[in-house]
Structure formats: C-alpha cells, structure tokens
Amino acid sequence: MRRNTVVFVLAFATLGLAPCCFGVGFYSPDQSVSAQAQADAVVARASDASTVYYNPAGMVRLAPWNVTAGWHVVLPELEYVSPFGQKQEASDTFFVPHVYLAANPVNSRFAGGIGVNSPFGLGTDWGGNSFARYVAPYSKLELMMVNPNVAYRVTEGLSIAAGADFYTADITLDRFVPSLMMPGLLPPGMDLGTTIEADGDAWGWNAAVMYDICERVSVGASYRSKADIDFSGPLKTNPATPLSTSASFDMHLPSMVKAGIAVKPTKGLTVEFDVDWLEWSRFKNVQVTFSPPVMPSEVSPRDWDDALLYSIGAEYAMGKNWKVRAGYGFAESPIPDRTYEPGIPRNDLHVVSFGLGKSFNRVTLDAACTFILSEQRDVNSAVGEPFLSVDGSYDSFTTVLGGGVSYSF
C-alpha cells in the first residue's frame, strides 16, 4: 500500500509539471537588436547578419563578411488577483544572447551563414507558498538553436535559402503534492515538493525567399518546420521517497510562417508590415511515460490554438550615420481558458518598441527597448482543483532591453 501511494503521488507530480514546459516554451520574436527596435518586422529586407534567422535569403544582399552579436535582458512582471481580491506578483530577469555570421562571396550567386540564438524559452516563479504551489510555482526553460543556412541569388532581385535547425534545451519544473494525498507517508500538513530536471534536443529545417519588386518595394517570407524535443530526466522529491523514477515527455515546437512587405516611401525611410503564423494547435495533449514503468503512460490535455502575430516597423536613416527605429506588434494568445495555468500566463499582447543605430565605418552599434503589455484575462477553469484553485485575473508587463554590435567587411 505504501509503495502504491508513492507511485500515485509521483505520477500526479509529473503530470502537473510536464504541461508547464509549454508555458515557458512560447515563441520569442526578439532575436536581433536592430529587429527588436522595429517590432521584428524585417523579413522583407536585410540590414545585418541577423537576416540569417529572420530571412536567410537576404544574405546575398549583404557585404562579403558580416558578424552580428548582441543580448536581450528580459524583465517580466506578472500579477494575479484571486476572485476574492487577493493579489500576488512574480518577477524575474533573463539574459538572452545571440550571434550571427554571414558570408557573401564576391562574384558568387551563393551565400552562407550560421546563427546561434534562443527563439523559445522563458520562465515563471510565483514562489513555493503561492496560489500556484500545486500547479506550477516555478518553471524555467533554457533553449538554444544552431541554424546554418545557404542562400542562392536566382536573379538580380530574387533570392532563396534553406537551412537546418538544431535545438538543445534544459528544463526545470517544480510542483508540490498536497499532504492529503499522502496519508501516513509524511507528517500531517507537510506537502511533498517535487522537481524535475530534464534535457533534450531535436532537429528541424527552414526555407525562405526574398524578392525586390522594384527599387522601393520588396517582399519576403520564411518558413520554419515543426520540431519535437524529447525531454527526459529524474523526478526528485523533498523529502525523498523510497521509489526512484524518471519521466519522459515531448515539447512540440510549432511550425511557423513569417511574411512581409517593405516600402520606402521617401528617401531614408523604410516601413515594413509583417504577419507571423504559429502552429500552436500541435499541443493537443502531453503524454508522460515513466522509467521504470511503475504505471502506464498518462495524458494531460492542452488543446492550444494556432495564433497570429502582426507587426509594423519603421527605420529612418539620418545624417552622421544614425538610424532611428520604432515598431508596434500585436500577438494573439494560443491558450484557451480551460487549460490556462499560472505556469503559462500568456494573454493577448501589445508590443511597443524603439531604438537607435550608429555606424562607425565598418562597425555599427545598436540599442533597443521594448514594452510588452498584456491584456487582462479573467480565467475560470478546473485547473488546480480540488486542492487549490488558480481561477482569477492575470496581467503582465514586460520590459526588454537590447544592445548589440555588427561588423561588416
């Protein structure tokens, strides 16, 4: 009987943890400082080596050698208000670097490049004594993508590209199991803390096209395939239990399409409008398996929806090699109320960004700032019940600071 109780508790803990990885696994469009300042509306043109990620077909439009490196500091502030007016807040700091290299040989139709960045990943930390303790008090994903690409100039105005995506990731997920589920296993009133630390990797691919309609108008599109990261790792408990097991589950990264049109209405000014489509509907459920197989595989429903991200960005080239940038974006939430949880506090988002670029011969310095304001969301679901409801109002405000440098020769 004692062994069966432990098996049930570990299964309960793992099922609660596994879906949380998708809360921190949502898409992060800011993968370049110059692009960030324009709400990432840059798929139809190329200005530095970060085009390796946004649209690698643009590599044939760069100087022979280009290097771009930078970082983003992400500062999320989350707020939860219970149906009874009790408020809880969470905040954290994330440092996200990126680097790109592009080579466009003279007198060649081919160009190549590689990028290392983090297009997915975030985290939430409500605290072990919060309303989320039985669902997702803490979750964090750290993901890196290595993305080599090759581009080909078909005609003077048309180029295409293709590449491979290699993902590697580490994830940490915490959850508490109520003492009521463990009669006789622990002292009365003592909940069981659980932590899963897992890692995994996956492969995908991407393709892109860019076309100059005329001197003042260009269009571009890129596609990135789906990928499934197989995570596995031990389930640890505090205090320790007599049964040792590990959990395995998949993270389903969505396939994505990004398309846009860039227009130069006047000298020095470029305006671009982009639309991103993300296939979040791949999250039908999460299946957890155990090793050793102490019990059959379990399934937890997610039922996410596909989502769109709209963005418009502008760049104005001023005198003395200065560039002023600004942008606005709107991102739909893919998460329905019935599966909404505090480890995934993702609402519809409004994005406002701005920044500057300054060139010094072959070196360009870039700085950007983004404010991400979520729409308030009132949730009424069965998540967390019957032990502790997570119903209530969710809101967030995130600041993203960026700094980068580019070198071309």
Q: What is the mean pLDDT of residues 342-361?
A: 92
CATH number where 253 lies: 2.40.160.60
Whether the pLDDT of residue 160 is over 90: the answer is yes
Instruction: Please answer whether residues 53 and 37 qualify as being in contact, where contact means their C-beta atoms are separated by less than 8 angstroms.
Output: no
CA dihedral sign of residues 374, 223, 121, 11: positive
DSSP codes of every residue in 188-215: TT-PEEEEEEEEEEEEEEEEEEEEEEET
Other C-beta atoms lying within 10 Å of the C-beta of residue 269: 13
Task: Give the CA angle between residues 398, 401, 407 to the nearest 5°.
Answer: 150
Statement: residue 190 has pLDDT above 70? yes
Our count of domains for the chain comes to: 1
pLDDT tens digits, 323-343:
999 999 999 999 888 888 888
DSSP secondary structure string for all residues of 90-149:
EE--EEEEEEEEEE--TT-SEEEEEEEE-SB--EEE--TTSTTTTT-SEEEEEEEEEEEE
How large a percentage of the chain has pLDDT more than 70? 89
Question: Helix, strand, or coil here: 87?
Answer: strand
Task: Provide the percentage of residues in the chain whose pLDDT is more than 90.
Answer: 63
Q: How far apart are CA 113 and CA 103, in angstroms?
A: 6
What is the per-residue pLDDT for 370? 97
Q: Is residue 4 over pLDDT 90?
A: no
Tell me: the pLDDT tens digits for 264-316? 999 999 999 999 999 999 888 777 787 877 666 777 778 899 999 999 999 99
What pLDDT score was predicted for residue 193?
86
Per-residue pLDDT tens for 31-42? 999 999 999 999
* Reported pTM: 0.90
Q: How confident is residue 13, by pLDDT bands cut at 50, 70 and 90? A: low
Q: What is the pLDDT of residues 44-83, one digit of tens each?
A: 999 999 999 999 999 999 999 999 999 999 999 999 999 9
Query: What is the rounded distance in angstroms from the CA atom of residue 226 to the CA atom of residue 203?
Result: 9
Residue 57: helix, strand or coil by DSSP? helix
Q: Which range, 13-17, 91-95, 268-272, has the best average confidence (pLDDT)?
A: 268-272
| Host domain of residue 259 | 2-408
For the chain, the average pLDDT equals 88
14: left (phi over 0), alpha (psi -120 to 50) or beta: alpha
- Cα separation of 212 and 214, whole Å? 5
DSSP assigned state of 337 = G
pLDDT the model gives residue 182: 64
Distance from the Cα of residue 274 to its chain's centroid? 18
* Residue 23, pLDDT score: 31
